[in-house]
Amino acid sequence: MAAAAAGPCPGPGPGPGPGAARTKKKQKRFVPQRVKLPRAADPLLAVLAWGVTHQINELSQVPLPVMLLPDDFKASSKIKVNNHLFNRENLPSHFKFKEYCPQVFRNLRERFGVDDQDYQVSLARSPPRWVGSGHRLLLSADRTLVLKELSSEDVADVHGLLAHYHQYVVQCHGQTLLPRFLGMYRVSVDSEDTYLLVMRNLFSHRLPVHRKYDLKGSLVDREASDKEKGKELPTLKDVDFLNKNEKVFVEEEQQREFMDKLKRDVEFLVQQKLMDYSLLLGIHEVERGEQEEEEELEEEELGGGGDEGGLGGPYGTSPEGLGGLLNSYRPLGPGEFDPGVDVYALRGAEGAPRREVYFMGLIDVLTQYDARKKAAHAAKTVKHGAGAEISTVHPEQYAKRFLDFITNIFA
């Protein structure tokens, strides 16, 4: 989910308008005994849904603090359940749930325009699903939220960054390309702890991505493997981007605003001695998306369509939750998006070779330049030579090289 050198931050975006009008109805849903939990084959996901619902209900009973105090950045809320009788067909009989820094993440959600009740619906009404391989990632059923599994060391890193991150989000009025951190939890089932960090999905919840790049600004070991390239939607890298002569076509004003924001964010990361982050770029091809939607509708008419795992098609969303904000507005056509929902989206420029929508934001921002990175840098210098474009360099060098590369991705 910023530094003075790049100029002042833009003003705050619009708040979650529809939330206020539905408050009375939604408060009823927050009595825990009345919440119908999803049938999740995975007990972890059932406990997550129960825990998030419980915590949002608890927070709704507590007035918003006038200001956050240092203790709020160390606080946590824990609950332990034994012999749980309610909804026992879905929940294990023994589990624990912990929310880290509840008031801090509540404040961040508010600053990012995320209504707590929509957040709870997006996370808990239908179970998220595991996506990708290797990286343990969950995607909410309405595709608006991503949950990343962390190690206990990662949790400590988030704690160490959180006060600085919150202050930065305040200064920039929530206008940032950094990951939008919305909650952090520990779920304990069968004596096994799972740590999860909840963020806004960088990609769209309704416009499918057709090409995807992870860009660091380094050319050493930065080409996707043959195995990766064989996937339906491979994550390509810097060398692939150059080899394909890929370019991002946006209007000059959009490019300038994007780069100003990126420079502020990168300066913040340098101040925190963070590095090894990437710009994740997703590209939606409008005509291809339109064709895919037409094919999907034809399949449904022939009886071949189905809602796999409650996720719907690329254009389907839950009637409530973060994606449900769209229901308040006119239907969106091909390639159109609501910037209040698809917060990382940029529209392609008029007159570009193809009609495209771009999704761009920073990911993997928790790597400190510590002894391990210094050792890796020394080893790579020996292997590739002192002038090689290796990824493990000092944060200032990393930032300069990264920004130089990203500046040149635009047409």
Exposure string (b/e) for 294-318, b if CB count within 10 Å is 16 or more?
eebeeeeeeeeeeeeeebbbbbebb
Q: Identify whether 72 is a catalytic site residue.
A: no
Beta strand pairing call for 211-215 and 235-236: parallel
Which one from 148, 216, 263, 373 is the annotated catalytic residue? Answer: 148
Which one from 214, 238, 276, 342 is the annotated catalytic residue? Answer: 276
If phi > 0 it is left, if psi is from -120 to 50 it is alpha, else beta; for residue 113 that is left
Alpha helix (H) ranges present in 224-354?
Answer: 226-229, 238-243, 252-271, 286-301
Listed in order, strand segments (DSSP E) in 164-249 are 181-189, 192-200, 211-215, 235-236
* Diameter over CA atoms, the chain: 65
As a 3-state breakdown, the chain gives helix, strand, coil percent values, each rounded to 5, of 40, 20, 40
Closest CA to 267 of 390, 157, 407, 168: 168
If phi > 0 it is left, if psi is from -120 to 50 it is alpha, else beta; for residue 151 that is beta
CA–CA separation, 132 vs 157, rounded Å?
A: 23
Which secondary structure element, helix H or strand E, spans residue 44, and what is its range? helix 43-60
CA–CA separation, 299 vs 319, rounded Å?
A: 22
Q: Are 205 and 143 in contact (CB under 8 A)?
A: yes
Q: Identify whether 148 is a catalytic site residue.
A: yes
Which secondary structure element, helix H or strand E, spans residue 400, and what is its range? helix 395-407
Listed in order, strand segments (DSSP E) in 311-351 are 345-347
Angle (nearest 5°) at CA 135 between 133 and 139? 85
Q: Which residues are catalytic?
A: 148, 276
